[in-house]
Structure formats: C-alpha cells, structure tokens
Structure 1
Amino acid sequence: MMSLKELCAYETPSVAEMQNFLLADRRPTGHVNQVWPNVYIGNEVAARDKSMLYNMRITHIVNAASGPPHVNTGARFYRDMDIDYYGVEADDSTDFIISVFFYPTARFIRAALSKNGRVFVHCLMGVSRSATLVLAFLMIYEDLTLMEAIKAVRQHRDICPNPGFLNQLRHLDMSLVRERKKKLEAYKL
C-alpha cells in the first residue's frame, strides 16, 4: 500500500496514457493465464474446455460476456462440475456501463479466494470485459492503483479494455485514492 506522500503525488493516468501503455510491447496471449494468485483471465475457448478447467482446479467462474449473443455458457453448462458461476451480461462497447458490476464481481472474487478457490474470469477474447473486472477487483480489494493493477495483470496477459471501460476504471481509481488518502490522514491524526 502506498504511503500518504506517495498517494498525494499519485495521479490517475488519462485514457490515452493507459492505451499507449497497453498497446506498447504487445505479446501473444494464450487461451487462459494466471494474472494474480488463483485468479485467471481467459477467453471463450478456455471457458468451454471443461477438462482444462477441471485440471486447473477452477472452483469459480465469472462470465463477463454472459447470455446470448455472447458466451452463452451459464450455470447449467457447468452443472456437472463443482463450480460456482457468476454471470455479467456486458457488451464490449465504449458506451456500456460496466462499472455497476465492479463491486458485486469483486465481492464474488474475494469470497472465492477467501475459501481458497480458484477464479476464472472470461469474456469472448479475454482482453476487455474480463480484464476490466479483474482490474477493478485488484483496485478494490488488493489496494492497487489502476496503473499498478494494469502492470500486474499485463506481466501475465495481454489485455486491452476499451476506452469507455478505461474511463470507468479511472473514476474508480480516483474515488479509491481519495478514500485511501482520507483513511491515511485520519490514521495520522
């Protein structure tokens, strides 16, 4: 966690700055990658590969592209497996409001990890919707700034949330940084 001095000096990056960072030094990404201890991001191919999910010991799935016409798996698709399923019906469009799912999804991931679960978060390609929700989780529960979260995930998977999602993550980042500053200032008093 950042010190009060570091927090005061921190500025949430612009969408353009984040896009430049995300688009630089891109590398091919597989169907699924572990991006944080027991947190995985992947695509539809991985989401439909039950034997791979079983072998990875996945216990919880977040489908960030739930329902038709997206990745129509759902709890029924996994009924023959011991998996807790959470569906988010999100469109990968710049005007879609994904921020309403930040806290509920982060709580689902946190609860899974608190039970020593393994969480697979996916969408169609595993680069925008799923990455956005994992970044929000890291910011909300792991106390990372937006750039720290992006850098942590980017070490393991090539991600690129759309500009609308990046902007919503910016607002979350600014809100969380304000809260952390208040807490640290109150603690110092």
Structure 2
Amino acid sequence: MLSFSAPSWRTPLNSVDSRRSNHEEGAAMGFGRAASLIVPRVYLSDAITAGDHDTLTRLGITHVISVLDYSPTIPILIPSENKLHIRLPDEFRADILSHLPETTKFITSVLADNETNKVLVHCMMGISRSATVVCAYLVASSGMSAKEALEHTQARRGIVCPNVGFRKQLDTYAEGFVASGHKQGSTKITRIGGDIAERIRRLKSLST
C-alpha cells in the first residue's frame, strides 16, 4: 500500500529552483503559455503546452495528467501507460472530488517509482481543473491545508484560480484527512479513497 511521507514543506518548496529563466518566471506570474514548476518534478500547464513535443522534452516530462472534457493530443514521446485522462468540464457543479484520490495516487506513484520521473498536470488553461488536482496532491503529500496548497500554487503560477465549486471540493478533500483520524502527510491513499467516496455519497444524499 502507498503511504505519504510528511516533509517539512515550507523551506524546500520555497527553494524550488530559485534560478528560473525569464520564461519560467513569466509562467509563475501567469504571462504567456508555459509550464509552471509547482513542487520538484510536478508541473502545471495549459493544453497547448502539454501538446508541445519540444517543451515536454526540454522539461524531461515522463507522465501527463489531462483534466479535460475532450480527448487531449499528447506527443507520442509520452506512452499511453504514462498518461491519465480525467474527463471533466470546468463547471462548478462538476464532480472533481471523486477523481482526486486517483490523481493523487498517480502522481505519488510516478514520483516514487523513479527519481527522474516528472509529471505535467494540465487542463485547458492551467487555471482551474488541473490546479485543483495539483493542490489535492500537495494536501496529501506535504501536510498543507487546502488554503496553503492553493496559495502555494498561485505563488508559482499567478493565473491559478479554481472555480468556487472546485474550491469547496478541495476543502472537503482536505477535511477527509482530518475526519479519517490520520495526520496529513502520512495518510494511506486507499483509506483516503474510501473516506472521500463515503463523503461524496453523503453529499449526494443530502442534495436529493
């Protein structure tokens, strides 16, 4: 079973490759199309960047998560087994919560499998859907709260702004770590998956 380690995130995350190029700085501030390095080996981008062979090669991307309501076009250098497609529209009523255990598990497994692996997470613009996925990974892997994860991601990519529905679902995802009685950063992913699924069922029953 996979379990998350709990590093002290404030110092290492603030020192992620401080000598970034002007192009990378622009991505962090939200200017132009580019991939933003959120934490070591985890990038966030728009769909056009994710489909650019040269960019993926330059960054050394080995795995891609696409969060789109249509089939993405990813360069053939990324084999099918290294891709995960979450079909989801960018609407505040869309259920992204039920996918977060899967995306978090994917990122965690990829990074643990090989220290040279790098993951790119993208949606259409790299603003809402994919940002929520990355924030959920930060919550699970580093002990951040949902608010801290969002603030950190926005600091690395200024255009990040999940819709209201996704923010609420990210809060629910983070609350699942507390509700399950596990400390953030050390929760077993299979337990979280079950807890989140149960919370989704409860929310749906209340809305009917």
Q: Tell me whether 1:152 sits opposite 2:152 in the alignment.
A: yes
Q: Which runs of no fewer than 5 residues in structure 2 stay unpaired?
A: 1-5, 7-27, 185-208
Q: State the distance in 1 between where 2:106 and 2:78 align.
A: 18
Deviations 1:15-36 (A, max 9, x none): xxxxxxxxxxx94344210011
Aligned residues: 154
Residue matched to 2:135: 135
- The answer on whether the counterparts of 2:177 and 2:183 sit within 8 Å (CA) in structure 1 is no
Residue matched to 2:25: none
Deviations 1:18-61 (A, max 9, x none): xxxxxxxx943442100111100000120111111011100110
Q: CA RMSD in A?
A: 2.3
Residue matched to 1:87: 85
Q: Which runs of no fewer than 5 residues in structure 1 stay unpaired?
A: 2-25, 185-189
- The answer on whether the counterparts of 2:66 and 2:123 sit within 8 Å (CA) in structure 1 is yes
Q: Tell me whether 1:126 sits opposite 2:126 in the alignment.
A: yes
Equivalent position to 2:60, from 57, 60, 67: 57
Q: TM-score, normalised by structure 2?
A: 0.67
The 5 A counterparts of 1:68-107 are 68=71, 72-73=72-73, 77-81=74-78, 84-107=82-105
Q: State the distance in 2 between where 1:53 and 1:106 align.
A: 21
- The answer on whether the counterparts of 2:68 and 2:87 sit within 8 Å (CA) in structure 1 is yes
- The answer on whether the counterparts of 2:64 and 2:78 sit within 8 Å (CA) in structure 1 is no
Shift of 1:80: 3.9
- The answer on whether the counterparts of 1:29 and 1:157 sit within 8 Å (CA) in structure 2 is no
Distance change >3 Å, CA 66–CA 78, structure 1 → 2: farther
Distance change >3 Å, CA 81–CA 140, structure 1 → 2: closer
Q: State the distance in 2 between where 1:100 and 1:111 align.
A: 18
Task: Give the aligned residue type for 2:88.
Answer: A
Residue matched to 2:43: 40
Residue matched to 1:28: 30
Q: State the distance in 2 between where 1:122 and 1:58 align.
A: 12
Distance change >3 Å, CA 27–CA 34, structure 1 → 2: closer
Residue matched to 1:112: 110
- The answer on whether the counterparts of 1:63 and 1:88 sit within 8 Å (CA) in structure 2 is yes
Deviations 1:75-131 (A, max 9, x none): xx4334457111110100011001111000001000111122100000000010000
State the secondary structure of the residue aligned to 2:30. Answer: coil
Task: Give the aligned residue type for 1:35.
Answer: I
Distance change >3 Å, CA 173–CA 79, structure 1 → 2: same
Please, which moves more after superposition, 78-87 or 154-163? 78-87
State the secondary structure of the residue aligned to 1:104. Answer: helix
Task: Give the aligned residue type for 2:165.
Answer: G
